[in-house]
A and B are shown apart, each in its own frame.
Chain A
Amino acid sequence: MSAGQTQPLFDSAFLRKLDRLALLTRRAMVGDIQGERRSPRRGASVEFADFRPYTTGDDIRQIDWNLYARMERFFLKLFVAEEELTIHLLVDNSASMDWGDPHKLTYTRRLAAAIGYVALATLDRVTVTSFAAGATAQLPGVRGKAGTLPLFAFLQRLMPGSTGDLAAACRRYARLAHHPGPLILCSDLLDPHWEDALRALGARPFEITLLHVLAPQELRPQLDGDFRLLDAESGEAVEITADLETLRRYDESLRAWQHQIEMFCHGRSINYVPVDTAQPVEEFILAMLRKRGVLR
C-alpha cells in the first residue's frame, strides 16, 4: 500500500506519549555493550549484587576492605552489570498482510514503529526483520533516539512480499540472532505451519510477544451469496456459499483456532496478544499493550 509510505507513521504528540513508556522485560538478559538494562552478569554499576572470595588475579580494587577488617579474609564486592538489550522486531510482510481495511501491514508498521521507538527511547538496541519471499529486509540494529529515523524509514519502505514461509523464516532467524532478547512477532499467522514457527523461536531464550494481527474482515466476514475465495498468497480457491450457517461455522472455526494459538503460546510462556486492526493503533498501544504487560 503506497499510502503508508507518504504518510508519517505518527504525529509528534503521540511520540511524546510514547516517550513515557518503556518495554517490559521479565528477566535480565545478556547484552553486548554497556547499556541501561540490568544484565545477569556482574559489572560496574552502583547496584550491589554479591560478595565472593578473592582469588588470584582478581582486581584488588574490588576488594571490600571493610569486610576484610571484620573477617580478615579477602572478599570481592560485586555489582550488577547494566548492558544494552536487543529488541527483536519480526514483521510479517507476506501477501496475506497486504489486505484488510484498516490495512493490516500499515497497522503492523505503525505498531512496530511504536514499539521500536519505545525501545530506542530507553536506549535499547532494535533490530527489525521482515520475511516474505522477494521482500526480505533487515534493519541490523539501531540504538538511541538517533536510531528513530532509520527505523521509521525502514518501516515505511517495507513492501509487501508475495508468499511467506513463516516457519522457515522464524527458524532461520532463531539460528542467526546474536543476543536473544525480547522478541516481538507481528503476524497474522495465516499459515498452516504457524506452530513450527513459534516452536523454532521458542528454541532460543527469546522473550516472545506475539501480536496476532487480524483485520475485521477476517474476524467478522460480511459475506452473503456464493463466492469463490482466492488466496492472496497461493491463489488457491475455495468455493463457499455464505449464509448465516456458514458464517457461524467460520466464527466457530476462527475462535477454535485463536484458542489453539493461545493455548500453544501459554504452554511456551509466549505472550499472546490478539490485534484487531479496527482498533486505532494509538489506543491499542497505550491501553492494550500496557494491559497485557508488554509496555510499562
Chain B
Amino acid sequence: MSLLTPLALLSILAIGPLIVAMYLLKLRREERRVSSTFLWRRMVRDVEANAPWQRLRRNWLLLLQLLLLLLLAIALARPFFLTAGISGRNLVIIVDRSASMAATDVAPSRLDAARQQALTLIEQLPEGGRATIIAAGGQMDVLAASTTDRRQLNDAIRSITISAGGSSDLSQALALAAALSSREPDSEVAIISDGNVRVPPEIRVPATVRFFPIGRGADNVAISAMALQPGAAGQTLFIQVTSYSPSPTTRRLDVYLDGSLFNAYDLAFGPDGANDASRVVVTDVPAQVQIAEARLNASPGTDHLASDDVAWAVSNTGAGTTVRIVGPGNRFLETALALLSGVTVTKGPLTAAAASDEVALPQITVFDGVIPDVLPAGNLLFIGPPRSTDLFSVTGQVDFPALRPVTTEPDTQGTSLLRNVSFSDVSVLRAARVEPGIWGRTLVEGDGHPMLLAGEREGRRIVVLAFALQDSDLPLQIAFPLLMSNIVAYLAPGSGVEASQIVPGQPLALVADPSTTGTRVIRPDGRSATAQIQAGQVIYADTGASGAYIIEQLRDDQVINRRRFAVNLFAPEESRIAPAGELSVPQVSGLQQAVTREQVGRQEVWRWLAAAALLVVVAEWLVYQRNGLAYLRQQLRFALATRRQ
C-alpha cells in the first residue's frame, strides 16, 4: 500500500497533541467535598473488581477521538493499492459481449464479471479522465462516447447484455478504439474479454492496450450442428455434439420431435481436440415431423455455457425452390442444381407467355449463354452473357484471365457467396468483359474485369458469372457445387436446408409471394410478431433468441406460405469457452505485442477509511451521550414494567 499525499499524515502530529492537551485540560475534575468517600470507594472498588478495563472507560472519548483523527489523516493521505487496472486519462473500454461471455464459470456469469471489472476501471479513472464504452460482439455498439460523466459510464456498462449470435470479432471495436486513442495522448485501451476473440493482425493501436481476462473454466459440450433433411424413410435427423472440455466427459442428449420426447442418447466424449471429442447422432424420424429439438443434459456445474446446449432443426418439406434453366443445356449445371435438396429444376426456352405468367413463375431463372429480349421477373443468374442487357453491358472479351477474389470488408453477401469456395486454381479460357451497373459488386475479378458479380436491383437479386462453364475447368472443381449452392441460397433466400438454419441476430429473409398482404412471425416463446415486406422479401430481424421461428405469409388472413427457421448458436469459437490468459494486440508504440495484466491501476481506499471515520463519530457521540441513552433505557424499562402491571 502506498500513499498519494503522505504529507497529510503530518496532520496527526499537528492535531494529535492538541486533542490530548484539550483532553487533559478538560480532565481537571471539579473538586467536591463530601461527607465521606466511604461509599464511593466501595462503589468504585466493586466496579473495578468486576471489569479491569473499567479504568479505560473514562478515556473512551479520547481514544475514539484519536482513532477518528488517525482515520481521517490516513484518508487524507489517500492510500491506494496497486491493482491490475489502468493509468491513462483517456480510456477506451471494449467489453466482449459475445455468446461465450454468458458462461457461468465465474459466478454469476462472465459478462457480470466483465461489467464489474469495467466499473472498477471507471472508478480508477483519474479526475477529469474520459472514457468510452464499446460493446463488441455481434453488432458493435458505442454505449458511451468519450465522456467524463461517470454515472453515464456506469449506466452504459450496466446496460451491456449478451449478444446471442455475436461473433467475437474485435476488428471494428479495435479500429474505433485506435481512432479514438490517436486523437488524445495518454490513452489506454482496455479489453475485457474471455480471450476468445479475433484480433485483426493488420491493426496498430496507438495506445497502451491492456487485457483483462475473464473466466476460469473450460467445461462445455455443445450441439455443433443439427439438420433435418428428407431421407429415404421420411426424414433424417443429424445431430453433431462436440465437447470442448479439456477432460473426457459424458452427456445425455434428449431429442424432442414437435415437443414430445423422441429418444435419448448417452454420449461419451474425449477431451477437446481428440478424435472422439465429437459425436454424431443420425436417426430416421417420421416425415410429418416439423420441428426437432435437441437438448444436452449435464449435471450442475459441469457445463458452463447453457446457450449452446439446445438446438433446433426444422423441416421445410414441400417448400422447395424452382429453378428454370434457359439455354442450350449444360450437364454440369443441371447436375449441380439437381443435387441441391429442395430445388426443382425445369428446363426450356423462355417464352413471352411464360415470362408474364406470374403463377408459374420460377424463383430463379438461369440464363446459360443466352440473353432474352425481355427479362422475366424473379431473381436471375447469368452465365457467360453473350451481349448486353438492361442490367449490364458486355463490351468485349477477356482472354485467360487470372481469377482473384476481391477482398472486401466482411460482408454477408460476399462471404455467403464465396463461402468454402476457392477460385485460386480455376483456369478460364475466355470470359465476357462485363461492365456492371452501380448495383453490382465484384466478388471475383480477372485481370481487372469482374468475373463474378452480385447485387440487387429493383427488388431482384442478380448474379453474373462472366465466363461460360465450358470455357473453364470450374465445373471440374470441388468449388463448383459449393458455388452453385451458395448462389442458389443467395438468389432464393430462405430456401433449402442450409437457409433454414441461421445464427442468432441474423435476419430471417425469404422471397415474398407477390400477392402477400400481411405476415405473421411466431417466435420460439410463442409470441407473435410482424415481419417487414421489403423489395420482394419478407424480413424479420429480431432473432436474438434461439429456437424455432415460423414465418407465415398471409393473403386476406389466409395463410398462403409457411416457412420455419431454426435459430441456433452453432459457433465453435463461442462454444470453446476456455479463457485465454493473454491477448496479442499489435500496438504502434510498444515492442511488446502481448499485453497482459500489469499492476498499474490504483485502487484508492479512502472511501472505506471515511466510512470507518463516520462510524467512529457515531460511536463517539453515543459514548458522549451515554447518560441520555441510559436515561432512555431506564424510562423504557419503567414503561414496560408499568404496562406489565
Q: Nearest-CB distance from A64 to chain B (Å)?
A: 61
Contact B40 A249 (CB under 8 A): no
Interface size on A, as a range, is: 35 or more
| B38 contact set on A, CB distance < 8 A | 190-192, 231
Residue picked from B40, B47, B626, B627, most chain A C-beta under 10 Å: B40
Contact among B32, B630, B634 for A227, CB-based, below 8 A:
B32
User: Within 8 Å of chain B (Cβ to Cβ): is A244?
Assistant: yes
User: Within 8 Å of chain B (Cβ to Cβ): is A96?
Assistant: yes
Q: Nearest-CB distance from A43 to chain B (Å)?
A: 47
User: Within 8 Å of chain A (Cβ to Cβ): is B39?
Assistant: yes
Q: Nearest-CB distance from B40 to chain A (Å)?
A: 5
Contact B58 A229 (CB under 8 A): no
Contact B35 A188 (CB under 8 A): yes
Tell me whether A253 and B39 are in contact in the complex, defined as CB-CB below 8 angstroms, given that A226-B27, A245-B630 are known contacts: yes
Tell me whether A232 and B36 are in contact in the complex, defined as CB-CB below 8 angstroms, given that A249-B43, A253-B42 are known contacts: yes
Assembly CA distance A19 to B44 (angstroms): 47
| A96 contact set on B, CB distance < 8 A | 35-36
| B41 contact set on A, CB distance < 8 A | 238
| A97 contact set on B, CB distance < 8 A | 35
Contact among A229, A236, A244 for B32, CB-based, below 8 A:
A229
Assembly CA distance A217 to B38 (angstroms): 14
Contact B29 A228 (CB under 8 A): yes
Contact B34 A231 (CB under 8 A): yes
Contact among B35, B40, B57, B634 for A238, CB-based, below 8 A:
B40
Q: How many chain B residues have a CB neighbour from A under 8 Å?
A: 27
- Chain B 3-35 per-residue mask, 1 if CB under 8 angstroms from chain A, else 0: 000000000000000000000001101111111
Docked complex: A82-105 residues within 8 A CB-CB of B: 96-97, 99-100, 104
User: Within 8 Å of chain A (Cβ to Cβ): is B46?
Assistant: yes
Contact among B27, B40, B634 for A240, CB-based, below 8 A:
B40
Assembly CA distance A241 to B43 (angstroms): 12
Contact A218 B39 (CB under 8 A): yes
Assembly CA distance A164 to B31 (angstroms): 23
Contact A231 B626 (CB under 8 A): no
Residue picked from A190, A191, A234, most chain B C-beta under 10 Å: A190
A246 nearest in chain B by CB position: B43
Assembly CA distance A224 to B58 (angstroms): 14
User: Within 8 Å of chain B (Cβ to Cβ): is A140?
Assistant: no
Assembly CA distance A88 to B630 (angstroms): 47
Assembly CA distance A253 to B626 (angstroms): 21
- Chain B 177-195 per-residue mask, 1 if CB under 8 angstroms from chain A, else 0: 0000000000000000000
Assembly CA distance A248 to B57 (angstroms): 16
Assembly CA distance A218 to B42 (angstroms): 14
| A250 contact set on B, CB distance < 8 A | 39-40, 43
Contact A249 B47 (CB under 8 A): yes
| A227 contact set on B, CB distance < 8 A | 29-32
Contact among B35, B46, B634 for A253, CB-based, below 8 A:
B46
Contact A228 B35 (CB under 8 A): no
Contact B36 A190 (CB under 8 A): yes
A95 nearest in chain B by CB position: B35
The 9 lowest CB-CB distance pairs between A and B, nearest first, are A190-B36, A244-B630, A99-B35, A228-B29, A253-B43, A96-B35, A231-B37, A226-B29, A238-B37
11 further A-B contacts with Cβ under 8 Å, apart from A226-B58, A228-B32, are A215-B35, A225-B30, A229-B40, A232-B36, A237-B37, A238-B37, A238-B41, A240-B44, A244-B634, A245-B626, A249-B43
Residue positions of B touching A, CB distance < 8 A: 26-27, 29-44, 46-47, 57-58, 626-627, 630-631, 634
